[in-house]
Chain A
Amino acid sequence: MSITVSFTLNGESVSAEVESRTLLVDVIRDHLGRTGTHVGCDTSQCGACVIHLDGRSVKSCTMLAVQAEGANVGTIEGVAQNGNLHPMQEAFREHHGLQCGFCTPGIIMSALDLVKQNADPSEKEIREWLEGNLCRCTGYQNIVRAVKAGAIAMRS
């Protein structure tokens, strides 16, 4: 059975015809064409699909699309504003916090929520927060540096 789901995506009103079982990530990627949010597993562990739902980071593979009805959804495509990179994005480039780039959108979205809740996270706090994001390329060291630097840049 098809259902219409409507929400705000990166500040824009959107709607899609979905099945009741359709996952939010599939609507974002397949129906709405925002492919920056990725799917890296099917057990809610890799975190490549992390987005913001009403300002909180969530795994969009672990929600039904209909649960986003009326919500404010943010994806990686909405992070840079007016062509200017967000300080967290800048920090990932500056500190080589990515290699293949597949996990990167989810990690940036996750990191932004961390800094929102904790403006000055310690290295330990960053590592523990990122426990729900898998990266196979970087060994996390430069990701942690980037999040730290991004947090500093966001405070200034």
Chain B
Amino acid sequence: MTENGIGAAVRRKEDQRFITGKGQYTDDINRPHQLHAHIIRSSLPHARIKSIDAGAALAMPGVVAVFTGKDMADDGVGSLPCGWGINNKDGSPMVEPPHLPLAPDTVRYVGDQVAVVLAEKRSIARDAAEQVDVDYDELPAAASLSAASADGAPLVWEDAPGNVCFDWEIGDAAVTDAAFANAAHVSSIDIVNSRLIPNAMEPRAGIGDYDSGKDEYTLYTTSQNPHVIRLLMGAYVLGIPEHKLRVIAPDVGGGFGSKIFHYAEEAIITWASKRVGRPVKWTADRSESFMSDAHGRDHISHAELALSQDGDFLGLRVRTRANLGAYLSTFGPSVPTYLYATLLAGTYKTPAIYCEVKAMFTHSVPVDAYRGAGRPEASYLLERLVDRAARETGIGQVEIRRRNFIPQDAFPYQTPVALEYDSGDYHTCLEKGLELADYAGFEQRCSESAGRGKLRGVGMSTYIEACGIAPSNVAGALGARAGLYEAGTIRVNPTGSVTVITGSHSHGQGHETTFAQLVTEALGVDFDSIEVVHGDTGKVPFGMGTYGSRSLAVGGMALMAALEKIKTKARKIAAHLLEASEDDVEFVDGQLKVAGTDRAVAFGDVALAAYVPHNYPLDVLEPGLEETAFYDPKNFTFPGGCHICEVEIDPDTGVVTVDRFTAADDFGRIINPMIVEGQVHGGVTQGIGQALYEQCIYDESGQLLTGSYMDYCLPKADNLPNFQVTTNTTLCAHNALGVKGCGEAGTIGSTPAVINAVVDALSDIGVTDMPIPATPERVWQAIRAASA
């Protein structure tokens, strides 16, 4: 290992600008002569737009234009596309309604885009928006899954009877039913996976900037994947060819999935910029974020687990309804299907699994990937059910898992729900977790709590996740409408410094550091001489972006492939300079050496020779030292681990305190342990947020009740303990780095561990279930009901 290479806890390159206030987030950027946009949003969950009168607004000084859906339609603006198609059980395609950037005639959720006001100042645009008179014909609405499923429920789309977008299944129903027929015991559970609002701290923002001289567009936007936005907006919505559209995602203040998707505002401001001939800037208020960023989760499920007399899992049967919101967001349909039900085997060798998913339209914000995307829904359901089975059979939460883990000699392991796990060691993760958590000391801590009048519980989850959806052709066969590879370029500059150009996008993950570590390890180039470029389609040849914990396992591997090409070419150049055979030249500590001799040339001299090719094999080799590679993985990667949580509950108030939290994770090879630990901390916190604090609520009329931080509770510093984090590594078997990914694991494993701990704490007084979030009121009510 070099000092700053693979495995070193290198301090981050990007921090300098962030700790000095020099980051460049989208709202920090201004373009000369720009206008400010304010989006007029529907205040009603479902209504027909009768008329829009912008006369008073247009008469206000500083107001330049007000555009409606009709203006965009007149220009031929198309629908925001959905990137994943799902087929029904009978093979027919899902219902795929249009989603125009400004609603043309009907609004379908509170926050739906109706019109845009352009003005010289943001304050003027906002004032003017209040003068735009939108006359609605209000229609009945159904914002929740239960309301949309009811007989005679208002329809979101006329061509989606019963509000069903698709009715999908995976697994073998007959085999699973047979497993249940032979069961000695069946445990079942009803699970509501609460709806969440992602809440990256930076609100979404953008600047559309049309250059009439070149007939070119630039869009600055808060995106996790600028090339994907260029493709979707250019090809489907605005009809702009790629070479005329540049998308820049500069510093982005967190994403957690919510900044993957192509949003209406991006298309509105880009289109409007051409209409008015000036740059158009838009920045969301947090209130707009709450009502227009894609939401996450929102499932209602019933699940049953069949067990043998010995506690072996025989079969798992799951029926889920998933809320997709009013329109199909970019990857919405993939989340409750291939990113959810395929994970239901978990870490267990359950031989038969069947799952059916009915995905519903509702009068609510579109639902799409939020940190974990489907996998937290799977792990929450499965781990709650396993916990219940452990209690009902008396086997115990640790032993039931040990009994049912996929054994280490079973890899590669084909699950009954499509995935083939390549590697893992669930037993060791569990044992490491138990040790670090001092599981053996729980009883004593429980007695101490009891002495103070508090209830203490311990819960766990042993989770699996699947990162880096792959390979592209398999994903395509399952409905993906895009490739899922990544691209990377290594540009060795003439004086030997290196520019790394990646299609991955960093919005907190630290790629500028981690990817530089890969390069310094491979080429021996000084860490400070390596620069990572990302987030600009004008600079990066191509990219699919960052989501699904894929950056290192896919983007990093593309860079590794480019580095291999660089090394091959550098060896040829060095062989020429050293008058040696290429096969004898090897990389050693930043030099290229002839094996077994002291003859060597510095890597920097090889770079210089490539760009000043005076002594150079021009007849067989091109000058220059820059290589691009695309990498399409052979399979998903499969991180997994064990999370253990101890809570203490005050029975008088119902307040749950997370007292201890331990994570023992397998992420494959770790490039930067400091960054990995930080990812786990953040992920666990979001999972605790879902377990105890966060929940998006629409009232019965379809109004969003949790529309600000007054009503939607994010975890705060004083809500949390210090987490104990460790890793146990098994290498990914199908990528050369052996890496698996770590971004979402914390969120996937933690929520069930917390709630299982809450149930454990309350089990002695007869409580057997607890919905999320386990708010003080809910816990207090449960305690009172059990005591009554």
Contacts and interface: CB of A to CB of B under 8 A. Distances in A.
Contacts of A93: 11-12, 15-16, 19
A115 B251 CA distance: 29
Interface in A73-118: 75-77, 79-80, 85, 89, 92-94, 96, 98-105, 108
A35 B27 CA distance: 9
B788 interface: no
Contacts of B171: none
Interface string B517-528: 000000000000
B710 interface: yes
Contacts of A77: 20-22
Contact of B681 (A21, A79, A134, A141): A141
A134 B720 CA distance: 13
B20 A79 contact: yes
A96 B678 CA distance: 7
A102 B716 contact: no
A92 B17 CA distance: 12
A104 B508 CA distance: 12
Contacts of B199: 136
A75 B123 CA distance: 24
Nearest to A132: B716
Contacts of B678: 96, 99, 137-138, 142
B436 to A, nearest CB: 15
B286 A96 contact: no
Which size bracket describes the interface of B in this complex?
Answer: 35 or more
A35 B18 contact: no
B209 to A, nearest CB: 18
Given A46-B286, A100-B507, A101-B14, A137 B682 contact: yes
Contact of B508 (A21, A40, A101, A134): A101
Contacts of B615: none
Contacts of B723: 139, 141
Contact of B717 (A35, A104, A127): A127
B722 to A, nearest CB: 5
Nearest to B254: A100
Interface in A116-132: 123-124, 126-128, 130-131
A96 B677 CA distance: 10
A42 B708 contact: yes
Interface string B200-227: 1111000000000000000000000000
B686 A133 contact: no
B105 interface: no
Nearest to B681: A139
Interface of A: 19, 21-22, 29, 34-43, 45-46, 48, 75-77, 79-80, 85, 89, 92-94, 96, 98-105, 108, 123-124, 126-128, 130-131, 133-144
Given A135-B201, A136-B256, A139-B681, 14 more contacts: A22-B123, A29-B28, A35-B24, A45-B709, A77-B21, A96-B674, A100-B507, A101-B14, A101-B253, A123-B722, A124-B718, A128-B717, A131-B716, A137-B508
Interface of B: 11-12, 14-25, 27-28, 123, 199-203, 251-254, 256, 285-287, 507-510, 674-675, 677-678, 681-686, 708-710, 714-718, 720, 722-723, 746
Q: Give 4 closest A-B pairs by Cβ, nearest first.
A: A36-B21, A101-B18, A102-B253, A100-B508
